[in-house]
Structure 1
Amino acid sequence: MKRFTAKIVDMIKEENLYASQGGPVILSQIENEYGNIDSAYGAAGKSYIKWAATMATSLDTGVPWVMCQQADAPDPIINTCNGFYCDQFTPNSNTKPKMWTENWSGWFLPFGGAVPYRPVEDLAFAVARFFQRGGTFQNYYMYHGGTNFDRTSGGPFIATSYDYDAPIDEYGIIRQPKWGHLKEVHKAIKLCEEALIATDPTITSLGPNLEAAVYKTGSVCAAFLANVDTKSDVTVNFSGNSYHLPAWSVSILPDCKNVVLNTAKINSASAISSFTTESLKEDIGSSEASSTGWSWISEPVGISKADSFPQTGLLEQINTTADKSDYLWYSLSIDYKGDAGSQTVLHIESLGHALHAFINGKLAGSQTGNSGKYKFTVDIPVTLVAGKNTIDLLSLTVGLQNYGAFFDTWGAGITGPVILKGLANGNTLDLSYQKWTYQVGLKGEDLGLSSGSSGQWNSQSTFPKNQPLIWYKTTFAAPSGSDPVAIDFTGMGKGEAWVNGQSIGRYWPTYVASDAGCTDSCNYRGPYSASKCRRNCGKPSQTLYHVPRSWLKPSGNILVLFEEKGGDPTQISFVTKQTESLCAHVSDSHPPPVDLWNSDTESGRKVGPVLSLTCPHDNQVISSIKFASYGTPLGTCGNFYHGRCSSNKALSIVQKACIGSSSCSVGVSSETFGNPCRGVAKSLAVEATCA
């Protein structure tokens, strides 16, 4: 570990990247969240942390070192917070800054799980609360979603998509309103900068679940007003003025008087994205392609490589494969003296993560663990023949454990027992301690079939659909345009895919999330957890798999699949991602956009709330207004509808202001639209399209 850490530090120093050298690197981190598990190691864990701290600081980076989630981080290491909320966090010394190294913008998706998301109102609340209570540094995890290409997923059953509901999504598209609202939050905090860096906050209670924090020194003053109640909006009195605070929100007052932003009131537009399906455009003329456009090679069942080896007993998988492959074959031949066609049961116990069992070359059954429990036990009915029978068990991993006390000992694979049950006279046969033959990986992996350029690809015989252990290949033209691209793997079972030799990751569209745990909408009020806000229950966890445009050529692209369970590749299609609609919903009680802060003082005119729309691409203009209502509109983006009160001028006014422009702004007030219902709080809701 010391050699590795020193190597990384030396590489950074050689490029003059540390801030102490004039570069951009302002912090170094040693260890990560070890404090969550170090108690399991007792005194050795404490000694290790002291050693790691001493080792790191001895490397003389010229910038501070941090340890995340390490309450006893030795001086001068700064202990920091990771989590959904860090406002209550306190560093272990008053000489250390309060730092939030991982603000979790969402959560990861497991295969077999529903899709988690985190409402931006809650995320903005968490950010504002952190700075309200003396925070100095905050970092998002994740700010840009990603993709676990190849076999890089960081933990068992983590899906290939690592979108994380981040402000910028897996495809590089800004996720609205999350990105825009957080941008406004940070602009608002920036307006308080002079006060924030000059002094510590004075925190007082304004009532139950109500809190004010004031940063004041001389003539400089900034304040944060928080309502941490999960249900009730309130009006509070602060410094002689009244302020309306929605539940679970923070208002930011850069001058201790005027609200520039409330975390629950979103000025930013939201966007609805959609995927447009395109058929797989096969390149014509490939000599290998069949009438389906696909060629194929069957992966042999069981032992097929020269580097296989015998071993008595059942081996743990990770130490056997050294992660060279997801796959490990366990193969055994037995002599069955019973009647041909006799039904027995093959009992298998595995540490995970999944397996396929073959009897005499035929798939007899499969089983998988899940993200909460990797281990499993399965009883597979099998039919044996008289005499020699071959049992081939293909065990596979779906990402490796990378965190937890003693996680290196958790293991994977079939460690047994493996027992044949239901033999003659009710006997059983324990196969666990017999001499098994092992093969690390697949023959097709050794042959480099993933590149598509090697091997004897077949296109002449009957095209194999819904059969296990098949390599498939086709050539295709890239979807036109510049929109992000994904492959829809509906119709396939489980496996891995490569585009032009680059692995786009494991696919598993047949792993369906539970029907329970999702809601039509998620109440942002109250503490967030990974299971609070989820969508896509009862559906496959992931059907769309990102293919970077940079990996594609206009034509002549090669797509290779390895299918484990059985599927139909002719059902595969490409999709491209577009922004379908822009929406905004702004009330007459919203603060003006942060960029208009103090503009009323400069212009002499009172500035009110504004609804703004901007097309996502520079070459686009607003082409239509699908909905506009000023009054009491209801619903959400894509499903707005008129309430009991609605101005009959709204649509024409918004159309005139917006159509033909790349962006537009409309004041949200009765001065603009007339007053359709006096004495009622009103808002403006708009849905537009760009082209």
Structure 2
Amino acid sequence: MGLNFREKAWILLGILCCSSLICSVKAIVTYDRKAVIINGQRRILLSGSIHYPRSTPEMWPDLIQKAKDGGLDVIQTYVFWNGHEPSPGQYYFEDRYDLVKFIKVVQQAGLYVHLRIGPYVCAEWNFGGFPVWLKYVPGMVFRTDNEPFKAAMQKFTEKIVRMMKEEKLFETQGGPIILSQIENEYGPIEWEIGAPGKAYTKWVAEMAQGLSTGVPWIMCKQDDAPNSIINTCNGFYCENFKPNSDNKPKMWTENWTGWFTEFGGAVPYRPAEDIALSVARFIQNGGSFINYYMYHGGTNFDRTAGEFIATSYDYDAPLDEYGLPREPKYSHLKRLHKVIKLCEPALVSADPTVTSLGDKQEAHVFKSKSSCAAFLSNYNTSSAARVLFGGSTYDLPPWSVSILPDCKTEYYNTAKVRTSSIHMKMVPTNTPFSWGSYNEEIPSANDNGTFSQDGLVEQISITRDKTDYFWYLTE
């Protein structure tokens, strides 16, 4: 029997209502002691840091696609306050600072976003991301229970959250942002300053929660994070980290893939085998969120580098400064991510049972009704070991973990690298370059650009960080 127009309209309305209901269900992000929960499903989340101002917008799609191809679920980035508000109330969100565009590129690739608003970010960035004008706000004391500072940082945080909401970028709105971070590695600072620091921690957590983003907030290196905030670990190894509450998941916001380069210092290097081992040990001990800091380091353009930090922020990351895969690190971790995903059903369903396999060897077994995954570890740094597990023998290289997604077959060992190293070779080019010049204006204190004073002056107070150059003439 045919349907008339009104009947078809009611059916269409019903479909739209159902679709809307499904979308609202899909938008829920919560967590429990095991993992972050997206759409009602516990997830083992693999994340990588890519800072949008440290690459060009033209690079973003390729970088993010390579991160996805490398097995990542999430892209993590800081928000850089001094890049976005160079003068009070004057905002800039264009070119390399187009945060919304960057997040939408991540969304188009089908990945999630962890947005670390800070707004203090450290990151080896100029002034840790603080605009220099903050220093001259009357009564300003940074990162403590200080009203001028709290007002300024709240205003900027609200600005960023409002932008994300207007663009519908939080997961609760159908966007890719599943996690947000407030402050950054504040725990050691709080310990130093005492009561004002504790009051500030409480205030900043309540302020963030009051923004109603619909996604969980985290604070890294903050052991006393309030119960509504997930505290997380940063470091080279985090397998022994435990959150400060039994209802929070075990999360690692910065697994350092290398280190930053300082002027005059050595170029840092961290072996792929060691990173893989750190990840496997974190997972076998119940970890469920891992972020590589950095996955692509990029470049400190202009004058954005922190004190004594080199222009290159390569960080020995899986994607090098130019966005090329660094082998064998990129492929070795890609294989690790693939096998972790094979283990995911068991990892999110069960707690590990730990069994000794020898003097420095043990098995971590995750077993549920429908799945089983095992991690066989050899903690001896110099000797290989042959172990018996499940009626079969396994050979474990020194300082390594073998992963068995079915509790039987070794799919991966952290010390067994299958991809050979690839070294970049620089070759001359016959293509001529086109050079231009820029004459930097010298800030002046009066019309003729000079002033007289006995003794040295504080340079930033004079230049307001507009230039690195300051000349003294003596008589």
Task: Confirm or deny a common fold (TM above 0.5).
Answer: yes
* Corresponding position of 1:121: 273
Q: Does 1:160 align with 2:290?
A: no
The equivalences for 1:258-407 within 5 A come to 258-278=409-429, 281=432, 306-333=448-475
The amino acid of 2:331's aligned partner reads: G
Q: Does 1:98 align with 2:287?
A: no
Q: Secondary structure at 1:275's aligned position in 2?
A: coil
Whole-angstrom CA distance in 2 between matches of 1:13 and 1:296: 39
Contact preservation (8 Å) 2:445, 2:451: no
The amino acid of 2:371's aligned partner reads: V
Contact preservation (8 Å) 1:303, 1:329: no
* Corresponding position of 2:108: none
Whole-angstrom CA distance in 1 between matches of 2:436 and 2:218: 53
* Corresponding position of 1:397: none
* Corresponding position of 2:13: none
Whole-angstrom CA distance in 2 between matches of 1:180 and 1:146: 19
Q: Report the CA distance shift for 1:313/1:77 in structure 2 as closer, same or farther (over 3 A).
A: same
The amino acid of 1:264's aligned partner reads: A
Give, in angstroms, the shift of residue 282 of structure 1: 5.7
Q: Does 1:72 align with 2:72?
A: no
Q: Does 1:15 align with 2:157?
A: no
1:81 maps to which of 233, 256, 274: 233
Q: Secondary structure at 2:197's aligned position in 1?
A: helix
Contact preservation (8 Å) 2:179, 2:218: yes
* Corresponding position of 1:534: none
Give, in angstroms, the shift of residue 299 of structure 1: 11
Whole-angstrom CA distance in 1 between matches of 2:248 and 2:436: 61
Q: Does 1:216 align with 2:367?
A: yes
Q: Does 1:257 align with 2:399?
A: no
Whole-angstrom CA distance in 1 between matches of 2:266 and 2:235: 21
Give, in angstroms, the shift of residue 295 of structure 1: 9.3
Query: What is the TM-score with the length of structure 1 in the denominator?
Result: 0.45
2:387 maps to which of 232, 236, 248: 236
Q: Report the CA distance shift for 1:89/1:74 in structure 2 as closer, same or farther (over 3 A).
A: same
Q: Report the CA distance shift for 1:243/1:296 in structure 2 as closer, same or farther (over 3 A).
A: closer
Query: Which is further off, 307-316 or 226-235?
Result: 307-316
Give, in angstroms, the shift of residue 317 of structure 1: 1.9
Contact preservation (8 Å) 2:386, 2:396: yes
Q: CA RMSD in A?
A: 2.3
Runs of 4 or more off by more than 3 Å in structure 1?
293-300, 302-305
Between structures 1 and 2, the one with greater strand share: 1
Give, in angstroms, the shift of residue 277 of structure 1: 1.9
Contact preservation (8 Å) 2:257, 2:317: yes
Whole-angstrom CA distance in 2 between matches of 1:55 and 1:148: 31
Between structures 1 and 2, the one with greater helix share: 2
Whole-angstrom CA distance in 2 between matches of 1:269 and 1:313: 59
Q: Deviations over 1:338-360 (max 9, x none)?
A: xxxxxxxxxxxxxxxxxxxxxxx
Q: Deviations over 1:660-691 (max 9, x none)?
A: xxxxxxxxxxxxxxxxxxxxxxxxxxxxxxxx
Whole-angstrom CA distance in 2 between matches of 1:88 and 1:224: 16
* Corresponding position of 1:399: none
Equivalent pairs: percent with the same residue? 61
- Listed as ranges, the gaps of 5+ residues in structure 1 are 284-292, 334-691
* Corresponding position of 2:335: 184
Query: What is the TM-score with the length of structure 2 in the denominator?
Result: 0.64
Q: Report the CA distance shift for 1:282/1:147 in structure 2 as closer, same or farther (over 3 A).
A: closer
Contact preservation (8 Å) 1:195, 1:215: yes
Give, in angstroms, the shift of residue 309 of structure 1: 2.5
* Corresponding position of 2:156: 4
Q: Secondary structure at 2:324's aligned position in 1?
A: coil
Contact preservation (8 Å) 1:303, 1:331: no
Q: Secondary structure at 2:158's aligned position in 1?
A: helix
Q: Does 1:150 align with 2:302?
A: yes
Q: Report the CA distance shift for 1:15/1:299 in structure 2 as closer, same or farther (over 3 A).
A: closer
Q: Report the CA distance shift for 1:325/1:260 in structure 2 as closer, same or farther (over 3 A).
A: same
* Corresponding position of 1:474: none
Contact preservation (8 Å) 1:142, 1:164: yes
Q: Report the CA distance shift for 1:317/1:294 in structure 2 as closer, same or farther (over 3 A).
A: closer
Whole-angstrom CA distance in 2 between matches of 1:7 and 1:218: 47
Q: Deviations over 1:378-400 (max 9, x none)?
A: xxxxxxxxxxxxxxxxxxxxxxx
Q: Secondary structure at 2:452's aligned position in 1?
A: strand
- Listed as ranges, the gaps of 5+ residues in structure 2 are 1-152
Q: Deviations over 1:41-70 (max 9, x none)?
A: 111111111111011101000000000111
Whole-angstrom CA distance in 2 between matches of 1:328 and 1:305: 16
Q: Does 1:57 align with 2:57?
A: no
Whole-angstrom CA distance in 1 between matches of 2:351 and 2:159: 39
The amino acid of 1:214's aligned partner reads: V
Give, in angstroms, the shift of residue 298 of structure 1: 12
Whole-angstrom CA distance in 2 between matches of 1:321 and 1:138: 41
Q: Secondary structure at 1:49's aligned position in 2?
A: helix
Give, in angstroms, the shift of residue 115 of structure 1: 0.8
Contact preservation (8 Å) 2:233, 2:253: yes
Q: Deviations over 1:283-341 (max 9, x none)?
A: 6xxxxxxxxx99999999x99972332334322222332211112223321xxxxxxxx
The amino acid of 1:73's aligned partner reads: A
Whole-angstrom CA distance in 1 between matches of 2:207 and 2:325: 40
Q: Does 1:138 align with 2:290?
A: yes
Whole-angstrom CA distance in 1 between matches of 2:259 and 2:345: 34
Whole-angstrom CA distance in 1 between matches of 2:170 and 2:433: 49
Q: Deviations over 1:158-193 (max 9, x none)?
A: 111111111111111111111111000000111101
Greater CA radius of gyration, 1 or 2?
A: 1
Contact preservation (8 Å) 1:180, 1:269: no
Q: Deviations over 1:254-292 (max 9, x none)?
A: 011110000100123432220102367266xxxxxxxxx
Whole-angstrom CA distance in 2 between matches of 1:66 and 1:157: 30
Q: Report the CA distance shift for 1:296/1:42 in structure 2 as closer, same or farther (over 3 A).
A: closer
Whole-angstrom CA distance in 1 between matches of 2:212 and 2:190: 26
* Corresponding position of 2:321: 170
Whole-angstrom CA distance in 2 between matches of 1:307 and 1:205: 74
How many pairs were matched up? 322
Whole-angstrom CA distance in 2 between matches of 1:203 and 1:54: 39
The amino acid of 1:202's aligned partner reads: T
Q: Deviations over 1:442-497 (max 9, x none)?
A: xxxxxxxxxxxxxxxxxxxxxxxxxxxxxxxxxxxxxxxxxxxxxxxxxxxxxxxx
Give, in angstroms, the shift of residue 126 of structure 1: 0.7
Whole-angstrom CA distance in 2 between matches of 1:163 and 1:65: 28
Q: Does 1:37 align with 2:189?
A: yes
Contact preservation (8 Å) 2:187, 2:221: yes
